[in-house]
Homo-oligomer: A and B are copies of this chain.
Amino acid sequence: MNVVSQMKLFMEPGSVAIVGATRRTGPLSFNIVEKLLDFGFKGKIYPVNPEADQISGLKAYPSAMDIPGQVDLAVIPVWERSSIPDLVRQCTEKEIKAIVVVGQGFADADDEGRALQQELLGIIRGTGARLIGPNSLGVANPSKGLCTAFIDVRMESLPIGLICQSGLFFGGLPTSALLGKAIDIANASDIHFAEALQYYEDDPETKLIVLHIEGVRDGRGFIEVAHRVSRKKPIVALKVAKTEQGAKAAQSHTGTLAGRDDIFDAVLKQCGIVRAGDIDELADLIKAFLRLPPMRGRRVGIVSISGGAAIMAADACASENLEVARLSAPTEEGLQELSPQWMRATNPLDYWPIGIHSRKSAPEMAKKGVRDFLADSGTDAVIHVPGYYPPQDVSRIAKDFVHISEAFPEKPVCWWMSGYHAKEVIAEFESQGISVFPSCERIARVLAKLHQHWQFLQSD
Q: Does A348 contact B (CB under 8 A)?
A: yes
1/0 contact string of A424-456 vs chain B (CB within 8 Å): 000000000000001111000000000000000
Could you give, for residues 99-122 of chain A, a 1 whenever the CB lies within 8 Å of some chain B CB and a 0 otherwise?
000001100111011000000000
Contact of A314 among B154, B246, B318 (CB under 8 A): B246
Q: Are B166 and A249 in contact (CB under 8 A)?
A: no
Interface segment, one of A50-58, A219-227, A285-293, A302-310: A302-310
Known A79-B356, A112-B342, A308-B165; judge A418-B174 contact (CB<8 A). Answer: yes
Asked if A343 CB lies within 8 Å of chain B CBs, one says: yes
CA distance A103 to B30 in the complex (A): 63
One digit per residue, 1 when the CB lies within 8 angstroms of any chain B CB and 0 when it does not, for chain A 207-236 equals 000001010000000000000000000000
Select the residue from A172, A173, A212, A315 with max chain B CB neighbours within 10 A: A315
Q: Which of A166, A174, A175, A214 neighbours the largest number of chain B CB atoms within 10 Å of its CB?
A: A166
Q: Are B308 and A167 in contact (CB under 8 A)?
A: yes
**Chain B residues with CB under 8 A of A21:** none
For this chain, the copies found in one complex come to 2
Contact of A311 among B246, B319, B420, B441 (CB under 8 A): B246
A314 to B390 CA separation, bound complex (whole angstroms): 44
Q: Which of chain B's residues have a CB closer than 8 A to the CB of A151? A: 388
Assess the B105–A240 pair: CB atoms within 8 A. Answer: no
> What is the distance, in angstroms, from A73's C-beta to the closest C-beta of chain B?
23
Would you give the 0/1 interface string for A318-329, flagging 1 where the beta carbon is closer than 8 Å to chain B?
A: 110001100000
| Contact of A113 with B342 in the complex, beta carbons under 8 Å | yes
Cβ–Cβ < 8 Å partners of A343 in chain B: 105, 109, 252
B243 and A104 contacting across the interface, CB-CB below 8 Å: no
- Chain A positions 48-100 with a Cβ under 8 Å from a chain B Cβ: 79, 81
Q: How many residues on A have C-beta within 8 angstroms of the other chain's C-beta atoms?
A: 78
Within the complex, the shortest CB–CB distance from A355 to chain B, in Å, comes to 10
Q: Decide yes or no whether A344 CB sits under 8 A from chain B.
A: yes
A307 and B248 within 8 A (CB): no
Interface string of A234-269 (1 = CB under 8 A from B): 000000111111101110111000000000000000
- A350 proximal to B (CB < 8 A): yes
Known: A244-B318, A353-B105, A439-B279. A311 touches B418 (CB 8 A): no
**Chain B nearest Cβ from A419, distance in angstroms:** 4
Chain B nearest CB from A298 CB (Å) reads 12
The reply to whether A249 and B390 contact each other, CB–CB distance below 8 Å, is: no
Residue A340 at the chain B interface, CB threshold 8 Å = yes
Closest 10 A-B residue pairs measured CB to CB? A166-B308, A246-B315, A243-B318, A253-B307, A171-B420, A173-B419, A172-B420, A109-B342, A172-B419, A105-B342
Q: Which residues of B contact A174 (CB under 8 A)?
A: 418-419
Out of B27, B175, B440, which one reaches A390, CB within 8 Å?
B27
Instruction: Chain B residues near A154: list those with CB within 8 A.
Output: 420
A383 interfacial by beta-carbon distance below 8 Å: no
A-B contact pairs, 6 of them (CB 8 A): A112-B342, A168-B419, A172-B419, A176-B420, A249-B307, A253-B307
